[in-house]
Amino acid sequence: MSIPSFVIGIAGGTGAGKTTVARTVADTVGEAVTRIPIDNYYEDLSHLAFEERTEVNYDHPDAFEWELLREQLNALLMGQPIEMPQYDFEAHNRTDERVTVEPTDVIVLEGIFSLYDEDILEMLDLCVYVMTDADVRILRRIERDVIDRGRGLEGVIDQYLETVKPMHEQFVEPTKKNADVIIPEGANRVAVDLLIEKIQAELAADGPERTDDPDSELSFSEPPRD
Ligand SMILES: Nc1ncnc2c1ncn2[C@@H]1O[C@H](COP(=O)(O)OP(=O)(O)O)[C@@H](O)[C@H]1O
Ligand SMILES: Nc1ccn([C@@H]2O[C@H](COP(=O)(O)O)[C@@H](O)[C@H]2O)c(=O)n1
């Protein structure tokens, strides 16, 4: 088990390419990276009927259970495992399943509001904003929502105009000012390679044999962050 030493937040509008960047980083760097999708922290809406859940504004910060996200991120930073909720986009709700996530050296928090909450910003070592034009994002989103999230074309367009676009302009886009790095177009190979190099340099600076096994000569302990 590790105490994470490097925490990255990857924000940006829907369809910007956040998940693609985060997955590329995780696949390239390997098991030292844990990906935490903020979508898993949408509020539990089991008390609402399916039809009511389809009407919810999922692009407003109030749609998320911030307290749980802060608590679980903090636990990982203290070297403790978490039981991460899972989200079902077709059901518009959390599933009953929880997945045990062990802390690793690098944590990647990814989602539209990764750079929104002041407490979470305090926990991030590197803030990344993926910036992609709105027309490209909506085209990507239509394709993804219809193929992967069980949505109809008309519904995706209505939702985009009614909530996604105005909330993006009001809440998501302004978080760009919190970014250290802006990646154009999502899976931008040059930018993603630089991000990977930075992570690998952080890992190397921490030592290749890093372990928290108390029996190991190389073991060490770190004070929790404040
Ligand atoms: N640079 C890129 N060029 C082309 N397609 C991309 C690029 N980045 C992401 N995509 C595609 O766009 C879609 C949305 O990307 P995704 O990473 O899920 O966005 P987000 O997580 O920001 O909503 C996916 O189908 C993905 O394969
Ligand atoms: N039940 C839900 C929950 C969320 N959404 C949309 O997901 C978008 C965020 O995810 P990305 O991978 O696109 O960043 C957000 O814009 C919500 O509108 C949804 O459609 N249904």
Atom 5 in ligand 2: residue holding the nearest Cα: 58
The pLDDT of residue 216 is: 35
Q: Who lines ligand 2 at CB under 6 A?
A: 14-15, 18-19, 39, 42, 58-59, 89, 92, 111-112, 164
Task: Classify residue 220: in a domain, yes or no.
Answer: no
pLDDT tens readout for residues 119-153 = 999 999 999 999 999 999 999 999 999 999 999 99
User: Is residue 226 assigned to a domain?
Assistant: no
Give a yes or no: residue 218 inside a domain.
no
What distances in angstroms separate CA 38 from CA 49, 77, 111, 135, one per listed residue? 23, 16, 5, 23
- Give CA–CA dist 14/58, Å, rounded: 11
| For the CA of 159, the nearest ligand | 2
Task: Answer whether 144 contacts ligand 1 (Cβ < 6 A).
Answer: yes
Q: Are strands 93-101 and 82-88 parallel, antiparallel or unpaired?
A: antiparallel
For the purposes of burial, counting CB atoms within 10 Å of the CB of 79, is it exposed (0-12), middle (13-18) or buried (19 or more)? middle
Strand residue runs (E) in 41-121: 82-88, 93-101, 106-110
For a ligand 2 pocket test, name from 48, 58, 132 the mutation site with the most ligand atoms within 8 angstroms of its C-beta.
58
Q: Is 211 within the bounds of a domain?
A: no
Does the pLDDT at position 58 exceed 90? Answer: yes
- Binned at pLDDT 50, 70 and 90, residue 221 comes out as very low
Q: How far apart are CA 25 and CA 192, in angstroms?
A: 7
For ligand 2, the distance from its centroid to the CA atom of residue 180, given in whole angstroms, is 24
Distance between CA atoms of residues 98 and 84, nearest Å: 5
Q: Name the residue among 18, 20, 36 with its Cα closest to residue 28.
A: 20
Report yes or no on 116 lying in a domain: yes
**What is the reported pLDDT for 5?**
84
Q: Is residue 212 part of a domain?
A: no
Place of tokens 């929880």: 98
For residue 54, the ligand 2 atom closest to its alpha carbon is: 1
CA distances to 25, 105, 138, 148, 187 from 144, rounded to whole Å, are 21, 31, 10, 5, 16
Has residue 137 been placed in a domain?
Answer: yes
Q: Is the CB of 146 under 6 A from ligand 1?
A: no
- 26-37, pLDDT tens digit by residue? 999 999 999 999
Q: How close is the Cα of 9 to the center of ligand 2, in Å?
A: 17
Q: Which sign, positive or negative, has the C-alpha torsion 56, 37, 176, 224?
A: positive
CB of 103 sitting under 6 A from ligand 1: no
User: pLDDT value at position 32?
Assistant: 95
Q: Which atom of ligand 2 is nearest to the CA of 13?
A: 14
The CATH number for 202's domain is 3.40.50.300
What b/e string do you get for 34-56 counting C-beta neighbours within 10 Å, with b at 16 or more?
Answer: bbbbbbbbbbebeeeeeeeeeeb
Torsion, CA 185, CA 37, CA 78, CA 60, rounded to 10: 90
Domain count, the chain: 1
* Residues of the domain holding 139: 6-206
Tell the residue number behind the tokens 């009953």, with chain if given.
Answer: 96
Q: Would residue 221 count as lying in a domain?
A: no
- The number of the ligand 2 atom at minimal distance from the alpha carbon of 18 is 14
